[in-house]
Amino acid sequence: MKILVTGGAGFIGSAVIRHIIDSTADSVVNLDKLTYAGNLESLLDVSDSGRYAFEQVDICDSAELKRVFHNHQPGAVMHLAAESHVDRSIDGPAAFIETNIVGTYTLLEATRQYWLGLDDSHKDTFRFHHISTDEVYGDLDDPDELFTETTPYAPSSPYSASKASSDHLVRAWSRTYGLPTLITNCSNNYGPYHFPEKLIPLIILNALEGKTLPVYGKGDQVRDWLYVEDHARALYKVVTEGVVGETYNIGGHNEKQNIEVVHALCELLDELRPWQGRSYKDLITHVQDRPGHDLRYAIDASKIQRALNWTPIETFESGIRKTVEWYLSNLEWCGRVQDGSYQRERLGATA
């Protein structure tokens, strides 16, 4: 099968592409606008494969989408292209509305027109897989409660509201037009190639530079942490084995307070990269909480385990160690992201 992956140069998208190229016989078309969060260096290990192709395209560009579908004839779409950073959505929500809502609509329409033109056998096997987030559900008050696939939506931020909107559009295109769709909602991802604005890489890199380690409020916000390579395996399971029209929640079974995550990172760094006889915990600084900050997310992933026989391989302890070790071994990649050279060289190459 040939799979069109939108947002394939991003953190989760690149993990999905690496998994497909390394662990399956399928082909990939990576469609990415290459915003600040898109980094083709995350795909260097697979970009020379004859089963990989790249298209620099904005999902809001219907004419370019039509060209890509016509030229590549994919058998499935995995839609990961999105603006995804909550803080950025608070500071500037317009980009989130444009990409996550208008972009998803434009992609759905381009996909539908392509799908309608397929012969019956290819139309029956085609899939549109929309990758979303657990943040669409809001947060949980009951410490024993978990998000399920039927939890009502209650988004708290411009980011999560835009993702909730895109989920609704996908379901509407399935119900109204018969487009064969699947939706997944995942918990917080972490692992290699994560953009340094996110909590885990930010803490690692700040610590190594002796900078403060900012923690919102008391750091008591609870998240369910999912290793990105486990997520990539789950997403491939869904697009190849999932039931059309279904939603699957994907979680890591690793609920941790943010302050616990920061402490775990400091302890690993103390072990792997000692700092002048001091603990990196000395750098922790509590900062004012962000507006509308959800307190607790937690995923019930029993459906995907039961229906598709998927469970995460990594525990939080094994995954976080692999993550810290990867960053320590790939500081050059991190530096190129931090100083922007990964973007400057890309712009120079395409000028």
Burial per residue of 40-76, b for 16 or more beta-carbon CB atoms within 10 angstroms, e otherwise? bbbbeebeeeeebbbbebbbbbeebbeebbeebebbb
Whether the CB-CB separation of 130 and 166 falls below 8 Å is answered with yes
- Euclidean distance between CA atoms 310 and 186, whole angstroms: 13
26: enclosing H helix or E strand: none
The single residue listed with the structure tokens 């995995």 is 78
CA distance 202 to 229: 20
Cβ contact 80:38 at 8 Å: no
- Residues marked active site are found at 134-135, 159
CA distance 209 to 342: 20
Q: What is the dihedral of CA 234, 225, 200, 235, to 10 degrees?
A: 10
Q: What is the DSSP letter of 230?
A: H
Question: For the packed helices 104-116 and 158-177, what is the interaxial angle rounded to 10 degrees?
Answer: 20
Residue in 213, 50, 179, 54 with CA at minimum distance from that of residue 111? 179
CA distances from 302 to 79, 146, 316 (A): 23, 11, 18
For residue 333, count other CB atoms closer than 10 A to its CB.
Answer: 18
Reported in sequence order, the residue ranges of 44-169 that DSSP labels E, i.e. its strands, are: 52-55, 76-79, 127-133
In sequence order, the β-bridge partners of residue 183 are: 130, 247
- Residue 244 DSSP code: T
